[in-house]
Amino acid sequence: MKKILNNPNDVVDEMLDGMVVAHSDLIRRIPGTTVIVRKGSPVVGKVGIVSGGGSGHEPSHAGYVGEGMLDAAVAGEVFTSPTPDQIYEAIKEVDSGKGVLLVIKNYTGDVLNFEMAAELAEADGIKVAKVVVNDDVAVEDSTFTSGRRGIAGTVFIHKIAGALAETGASLEEVEEIAKQVIQNVKSMGMALSPCIIPAIGKPGFELSDDEMEIGIGIHGEPGIKKTKILSADQVVDILLEKVLQEEGLLGMENSAVLINGLGSTPLMELYVVAKRVAEKLHEQNIKIHSSYVGNYMTAIEMAGFSISILKLNASLTKLLEAKANTIAFKN
């Protein structure tokens, strides 16, 4: 294992401290926790939005804490759900009295722990709403999941729900827009090589030099199939064929596209992917309103990418365009 680390068991703690040092104008850390919050939280008159999950997916989720997106992000150990007490601290810290929305990726540990934290907060009199993101169309059940997994499409929920919350909307309104985005965003990914969890020191799965895996999850969960290396265009075509047949995208005329690197994929290759995605959507007379290309939700140093397609309407487009000022997403 070659990594730029000190003690592998301290990597999350040191990473969070480093983020605050580098971006103290945007975020702060609740002492004694793994919670990153928006500087100035709680924001008076605003619904708080909290997300999080295992570390190793940076910039998710702390990279999206700030104006127009999240009010707090809770970090678990690498590929491990954050604990209920940490999530509970985040909820308390960002509640202005208007309530808090929890954005949860659909992994069993995340769902259970966020729900437990919500119960603790509700016992304190805090209003809490929850949405579960399940944008990955590759498989219905996987290693850590009952149902579909939550992957990079989650960033669109952060952005759009966060934008509406900035307007002073109610908890019910913010929850409803988040659910609409979840219904309208579909994703699927692939990998060329595995990643290594620092505390374990060896790859979580194996791929031969001439193999790739279609539909893999962001923790290395099995996908649909392993296959010999295909061209970029061939891979995009396979992923889009499955994504675009989803009911939530039927009748789509306008879209937002997220080409997400999984950690080790050069931008050169991601832009080759973006070119093919644009060609395929153009063939189907689907306009691309916004394109995002880069590392938005990684899997440590996994090589590969995912494609997320969001079906837009006028209200979602306006919220997508709204101001955001976070480490990893700025409008």
Q: Which of 23, 57, 61, 158 is catalytic?
A: 57
Task: Provide the pLDDT for residue 222.
Answer: 83
* Same domain? 210 vs 158: no
pLDDT band for position 191 (cuts 50, 70, 90):
very high
Strands 72-78 and 48-55: what pairing? parallel
* Same domain? 189 vs 302: yes
* Same domain? 174 vs 224: no
Average pLDDT in the 167-188 region?
A: 98
pLDDT tens-digit readout, 14-63 = 999 999 999 999 999 999 999 999 999 999 999 999 999 999 999 999 99
326 within some domain: no
Mean of pLDDT over the chain: 96
* Same domain? 210 vs 256: yes
Q: Which of 79, 30, 221, 11 is nearest to 136 (CA)?
A: 221
Instruction: Say which CATH number the domain at 18 has.
Output: 3.40.50.10440
Return phi, psi of residue 129, to 5°. Answer: -120, 155
pLDDT tens-digit readout, 69-124 = 999 999 999 999 999 999 999 999 999 999 999 999 999 999 999 999 999 999 99
Q: Which domain holds residue 52?
A: 12-182
Task: Provide the pLDDT for residue 277.
Answer: 99
Q: Which of 23, 61, 158, 219 is catalytic?
A: 219
pLDDT band for position 140 (cuts 50, 70, 90):
confident
Task: Provide the pLDDT for residue 143.
Answer: 66
pLDDT tens-digit readout, 221-271 = 888 999 999 999 999 999 999 999 999 998 999 999 999 999 999 999 999
* Same domain? 276 vs 288: yes
Instruction: Answer yes or no: 57 catalytic.
Output: yes
330 within some domain: no
328 within some domain: no
What is the CB-side half-sphere exposure of residue 175 using CA atoms within 13 A? 14
Task: Provide the pLDDT for residue 206.
Answer: 86
* Same domain? 82 vs 169: yes
* Same domain? 193 vs 164: no
What's the predicted TM-score (pTM) here? 0.96
The 3-class secondary structure across the chain, one letter per residue, is: CCCCCCCHHHHHHHHHHHHHHHCCCCEEECCCCCEEEECCCCCCCCCEEEEEEEECCCCCCHHHECECCECEEEEEEECCCCCHHHHHHHHHHHCCCCCEEEEEECCHHHHHHHHHHHHHHHHCCCCEEEEEECCECCCCCECCECCCCCCCCHHHHHHHHHHHHHCCCCHHHHHHHHHHHHHHEEEEEEEEECCECCCCCCECCCCCCCEEEECCCCCCCCCCEEEECCCHHHHHHHHHHHHHCCHHHCCCCEEEEEEEECECCCHHHHHHHHHHHHHHHHHCCCEEEEEEEECCCCCCCEEEEEEEEEECCHHHHHHHHCCCECCCCEC
Task: Provide the pLDDT for residue 139.
Answer: 85
Task: Provide the pLDDT for residue 220.
Answer: 86
* Same domain? 45 vs 122: yes
Q: Are 256 and 292 in contact (CB under 8 A)?
A: yes
At 258, list the tokens. Answer: 């997220």
258 within some domain: yes
* Same domain? 105 vs 189: no
Instruction: Say which CATH number the domain at 207 has.
Output: 3.30.1180.20
Residue keyed to tokens 């659909």: 106
Reply yes or no on whether the pLDDT at 142 is more than 90: no
* Same domain? 145 vs 22: yes
171 within some domain: yes
4 within some domain: no
3 within some domain: no
pLDDT tens-digit readout, 295-306 = 999 999 999 999
Instruction: Answer yes or no: 219 catalytic.
Output: yes
Reply yes or no on whether the pLDDT at 144 is more than 70: no
Last residue of a domain, one of 166, 182, 198: 182
Last residue of a domain, one of 143, 162, 182: 182
Last residue of a domain, one of 182, 216, 236: 182
Bridge partners of 287, per DSSP, are 254
Task: Provide the pLDDT for residue 1.
Answer: 83
Bridge partners of 152, per DSSP, are none
Task: Provide the pLDDT for residue 32.
Answer: 96
* Same domain? 232 vs 176: no
Domain count, the chain: 2
* Same domain? 78 vs 113: yes
331 within some domain: no
pLDDT band for position 202 (cuts 50, 70, 90):
confident
